[in-house]
Amino acid sequence: MAESLDRTLSPLPEELDRALRGATDRTLVALTALRRAVRQHVQDERNRGTGLDEIEIELRTIISRVLKDAAGRDSIDGERDTLANQMIKWSAGFYHQKD
Closest CA to 30 of 93, 95, 79: 79
What is the pLDDT confidence band of residue 94, given thresholds at 50, 70 and 90?
A: very high
| pLDDT mean across residues, the chain | 84
Give residue-wise pLDDT tens across range 61-72: 998 888 777 766
Closest CA to 93 of 63, 52, 58, 45: 52
Give residue-wise pLDDT tens across range 48-61: 999 999 999 999 99
Q: Structural domain tally of the chain?
A: 1
End-to-end CA distance of the chain: 65
Strand locations in the chain, DSSP E? none
Instruction: Report yes or no: 60 and 85 within 8 Å, Cβ to Cβ.
Output: no
| pLDDT top residue among 15 and 78 | 15
What is the pLDDT confidence band of residue 74, given thresholds at 50, 70 and 90?
A: low
CA neighbours within 13 Å on the CB side: how many for 22?
6
Ramachandran angles phi, psi of 66, nearest 5°? -65, -45
Domain span at residue 86?
Answer: 2-96
CA distance 45 to 54: 9
